[in-house]
Amino acid sequence: MAGTAQAMHPAPLVEAEWLNDQLNNESLVVLDVRSSIDDGGDRNAFEAARIPGSRYSNYAEEGWREERDGVVGLMPDPDDLAQLIGGLGIANDDTVIVVPAGTGPTDFASATRVYWTFKALGHDEVAILNGGFAGWEQQGFETASGPAAPPEATMFSATLREELLATDEQVEASQQAGEQLVDARPEGFYVGTQQSPDVRVPGTIPDAVNLPHDGALVERDGAWYLEPERLTAAIDALELDRETPTVAFCNTGHWAASGWFQLSEVGGLSDVTMYDGSMAAWTRDDSRPVHLAGRGVVSVGELLD
Distance CA 61, CA 288 (A): 31
Rounded Cα distance, 236 and 228, in Å: 12
125 CB-near residues (< 8 Å, 6+ apart): 8, 9, 10, 93, 94, 95, 96
**Cβ(293)–Cβ(284) below 8 Å:** no
Which of the following is catalytic: 75, 101, 250, 281? 250
Report DSSP state, residue 69. T
Residue 250 bears catalytic tag: yes
Contact (CB, 8 A) for 293 and 280: no
Calpha distance 262→215 (Å, rounded):
10
Q: Residues with catalytic annotation? A: 250
